[in-house]
Amino acid sequence: MGQSVKASSQGLSRIDQARQRRGWTKTSTARWWQDAHTSRATLRRFWRQERIQHEAFVAICQTVGVNDWESIAEIHPNPLSSTTPSPSPTPSTHPPNALTLNPELPNSQLPDSQLPNPEPIDWGDAPDIEQFYDRVVELAQLQRWMVEERAKLIYISGSGGIGKTTLIVALVEQIYPDFEQVIWRSIDDLASLDSVIANLLDFPAATLQENIEQLCQRVSQQRLLLILDVLTPSEHLWGALCKLTSVRHQSCLVVICRDPLPAMFQAKKRVESLIVLGLSVDASIQLLQGCGCSGTVNQFKALGHLYSYNPLALELVSATIQTLFDGQVTPFLAQNTIVMPDPIRLSLQKQFEALPLLEKSLLFWLAIWQEPIAMCRLNTHLLNANPGNVVEALSKLVRRSLITRHFFTNEPSFSLQPMVMTFVIDELVDAIIEEIYQAQQQSSIDPFYLLRSHCLIRPGTDDILGDRILCQLRSTYTKPAQDLAKMLSDWIAIAQEQPSLELGYLAVNIKALRASLLSF
């Protein structure tokens, strides 16, 4: 048996700095223990300053770039190599295959499969994470809510890929000793709320409501940290959360979800919510450099802005930059385009499809404007929209991290971030083309909805040829442009016979489409 080693407090501080430079978590970054050819259990014992095998200790240090492992370690001789005679062994009463813990043999020298589990963490299907940057403020806030203020519910929301799950994985590594047990579960297309709650109980009942009652009893009997990573929330979920936040207990429920927390929870005590936003500029630069990208600080800032400082989007676009431009940011930015990675587009697609009609309409209007617009000005262009409903819809879009607020004056203005702008314009163009196809099939203007309710040319401008949306419509439409131009002329004649209130922006839009097509 080789020598066992443990880290000193000063050494751990140095290792902590090294892993932060790489954007790794303490124990949830799979690459760390895999590259060190050890296990997560061994890495955890390393952080608890327990003795582990010399070879594993050296590999853990070297994997984060610390080669002088001696400066990290407090070296202890292997108790089995001592020259002091040991007493004669007494016959064992244990069966041949039973686990016998030698009091003189530290746990660090036992195989991982035979070690008792000192951490009551059931990670379930929580992901291993590759990188973790920044989030110091968020971690401190969450730890205060969870440990000091004993919040019953902490709700984590934010756009897809923004790092919600990664943040909570890193948090669990810090605060798990404050709980008797930590359980992580995902509620997605394959695992419903019913099955997840039933899985948490020893003797699940036949109905969801009965199981929620049992879960309330369980969280009242022990200090439990329950983490639910929710893909699509439901009324059943909100009902379960209401029940769990109403009973007396010292447990904590963390819910991770793209959607914002409903207003009915705002008045509840010991309920907190956090909207996770993009990384800081410095953290984004660290991430891009860690992904092998090269460029100036201003170029990194420009790239971060294009992708809303979304860590997943930056990681994915970094792969494209590596493949096509050998990691050089300059030629990528010169393309003057936004590459939409499939995981980000799919996440935005799911979020967009679940939005109410008014919220979709507001996103389309902001995409048409392509610059911040004040609420009062936006209201003047909406047709048949209640101002109170518009205020509420804008508030929800802000909490969904889909739109950005600006305060140029006393009244807020709203805009879309570049990556969201690209997605929304794509959706708007596809929807309009679908309306055109249906109108052609029916020889009627009845299928036109968006062309009635949204003006494709920004009000107050006449830049038809240079308009981004019209240009994209022109390039996306696959049928002969001349045929469409003639049909558009026919539709203009039909539209002129309709009452103006029913037409909305239709006549203006058809004329703009015709002018754009004929100029092509």
Closest CA to 446 of 384, 491, 485, 490: 491
Q: What is the structure's pLDDT at 96? A: 35
In angstroms, the CA 424 to CA 410 distance is: 28
CA dist., res. 281 & res. 303, Å (int): 10
Is residue 101 pLDDT above 50, yes or no?
no
Torsion angle, CA of 260/265/270/272, rounded to 10 degrees?
A: 10
Confidence of residue 95 (pLDDT cuts 50, 70, 90): very low
pLDDT at 184 over 90: yes
Mean pLDDT of 12-37: 85
State the SS3 of 456-510: CCCCCCCCCCCCHHHHHHHHHCCCCHHHHHHHHHHHHHHHCCCCHHHHCCHHHHH
pLDDT of residue 461: 61
pLDDT at 464: 55
261-275: average pLDDT: 89
Residue 480: which pLDDT band, with cuts at 50, 70 and 90?
low
Q: How far apart are CA 258 and CA 125, in angstroms?
A: 18
Give the model's pLDDT for residue 116. Answer: 41
**Among 42-56, 147-161, 209-223, the least confident range:** 42-56
Query: What would you report as the CA-atom Rg of the chain, rounded to the nearest whole angstrom?
Result: 29
Report pLDDT for 463: 56
| Distance separating alpha carbons of residues 346 and 498, to the nearest angstrom | 39
Distance CA 301, CA 304 (A): 5
pLDDT at residue 81 tops 70: no
Residue 282 or 20, more confident = 282
Place of tokens 């660090």: 108
12 phi and psi, to 5 degrees? -60, -40
- Report the pLDDT value the prediction gives residue 297, as an integer from 0 to 100: 95
Q: Where are the alpha helices (DSSP H) in 192-233?
A: 193-199, 208-221
Of 183, 118, 171, which Cα lies nearest the Cα of 147?
171
pLDDT at 97 over 70: no
Whether the Cβ atoms of residue 251 and residue 152 lie closer than 8 Å to each other: yes
Decide: helix, strand or coil at residue 244. Answer: helix
Whether 82 has a pLDDT exceeding 60, the answer reads no
The reported pLDDT for the residue numbered 442 is 84
Cα 476 from Cα 430, distance rounded (Å): 8
Query: Which one is predicted more confidently, 359 or 409?
Result: 359
Q: Looking at residue 271, what is its pLDDT?
A: 94
Note the pLDDT of residue 2: 57
What are the Cα distances from residue 498, in Å, to 439, 448, 453, 485?
Answer: 16, 13, 15, 20
273 forms beta bridges with 155
Kindly state the tokens that stand for 267: 């008045």
CA distance 41 to 33: 9
Pair 249, 220: CB distance under 8 Å: yes
What is the SS3 assignment for 31?
Answer: helix
Q: Which residue has the higher pLDDT, 74 or 141?
A: 141
Q: Which pLDDT belongs to residue 164?
A: 94
Amino acid identity of residue 323, one-letter, is: T
Residue 91 clears pLDDT 60, i.e. is over it: no
Q: CA-based angle 344:348:351, to the nearest 5?
A: 145
Cβ contacts of 121 within 8 Å, gap of 6 or more: 172, 176, 181, 182, 184
pLDDT for 232:
85
Q: For the chain, first and last CA: distance in Å?
A: 79
Q: What is the pLDDT of residue 446?
A: 86
CA distances from 485 to 4, 435, 477 (A): 80, 15, 12
pLDDT band for position 83 (cuts 50, 70, 90):
very low
Between 373 and 109, the more confident residue is 373
pLDDT at 173: 85
Q: What are phi and psi of 6, to 5 degrees?
A: -130, 160
Largest CA distance in the chain: 108
Q: Which of 32-46, 100-114, 330-344 has the lowest mean pLDDT?
A: 100-114
pLDDT at 89: 42
Task: Determine the pLDDT at residue 302.
Answer: 95
Split at pLDDT 50, 70, 90, the class of 492 is confident
Task: Give the residue-averaged pLDDT of 218-223.
Answer: 92
Per the CB < 8 A criterion, the answer to whether 180 and 163 are in contact is no
> What are the structure tokens assigned to 33, written together?
């223990």
Q: What crossing angle do the helices spanning 418-442 and 297-306 adopt, rounded to 10°?
A: 40
Nearest to 12 by CA among 42, 47, 39: 47
Distance CA 113, CA 39 (A): 10
Residue 152 confidence class, pLDDT cut points 50, 70, 90: very high
CA atoms within 13 A on the CB side of 18: 18
Q: Where are the beta strands (DSSP E) in 276-419?
A: 373-374, 404-406, 413-415
The answer to whether the beta carbons of residues 215 and 197 sit under 8 Å apart is yes
Q: What pLDDT shows up at residue 251?
A: 94
User: What residues are paired with 257 via a beta bridge?
Assistant: 157
Percent of all residues in the chain with a pLDDT value above 90, rounded to a whole number: 43
HSE (side-chain half, CA atoms, 13 Å) at 361: 20
Residue 426 pLDDT > 70, yes or no?
yes
